Structure 1
Amino acid sequence: MSHQPPSPITLEEVSTVRFNLGGRSEYRVVDVDPLIDSLIARVKAGEPVDDLVARPRFRLSTRYDSSYRCREVDAFVKSLKGRPVARP
C-alpha cells in the first residue's frame, strides 16, 4: 500500500478561506487576518509556510472585538501543517 504525499497548498485555498464570525472568547479578527495575509504572500512567492502555522498565537476576543470561531481557524491552520506549497 503506497502512501500518497499531501496535496500542495494553493493560492486559491488560502485566499478564499472564510470563517464564521464568533462571539466572546473566540480568536480576534485583528490577529487572524494578518496571518492569512502572510500565508497568501508566502504561497504567492512559492515559499514554505511551516513556521507560520507551527504555533500561531491569537488573543481571545472580548465583547468589544470582532472575532472568528476558534474551531474553524484551528482546523484551517491544522490542514496546512506538513504540506508543501504549490509552485506559482
Structure 2
Amino acid sequence: MISTVLALSTGRASVFRNEPWKSLWTPAEMAALLERHGFGVVQEIDLVETAEGLGLELKRRRVLGYSRVMVGDRNPGGGAGVQGP
C-alpha cells in the first residue's frame, strides 16, 4: 500500500494497482510477528491520515480506510509500546 501512496504522490500508476490487498493479520498479530523477528512497534499509521498529511487527493478513500502500516524498529531490549492516532 505504501507503493500506491508513493505512486499517487508522483502522478504515476502503481505497478500493484490490479493486485488484491488482503491481509488476515490483526494489529496484535502483526505486532507479535514483528517482535518475533526482533522489532518493536513504534507507530501504527492509518493510510488515509498519511495520504492527507502528504497533501494527496484521495479518490478511493474507502479502500485506504481499511489499511494501516506498522512502523517497527530493531528492539533488542524488547517491549516497545504502540503509538497510534
Q: Shorter-chain TM-score: what band?
A: under 0.3
User: Larger % of strand: which?
Assistant: 2
TM-score (norm 1): 0.26
TM-score (norm 2): 0.26
